[in-house]
């Protein structure tokens, strides 16, 4: 992430939660938060 992107993200987090974030984490790929299964589809949706 770029420095400006981190700064904007930290500012938005602090506005929403009233405290600065303790760490930033990033990972490549896709995160499925609603439980769809992609393993039987070769990982493609």
- Report whether 13 contacts 7 (CB < 8 A): no
| Percentage, residues of the chain above pLDDT 90 | 44
Residue 20 has pLDDT above 90, yes or no: yes
d(CA 28, CA 2): 15
Q: In terms of DSSP H, where are the helices of 1-45?
A: 3-17
- Does the predicted model carry a pTM greater than 0.75? no
Residue 40 has pLDDT above 90, yes or no: no
Residue 44 has pLDDT above 90, yes or no: no
């Amino acid at each position: 992430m770029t420095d400006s992107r981190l700064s904007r993200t930290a500012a938005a987090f602090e506005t929403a939660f009233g405290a600065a974030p303790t760490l930033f984490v990033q990972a490549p790929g896709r995160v499925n938060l609603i439980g769809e299964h992609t393993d039987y589809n070769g990982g493609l949706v």
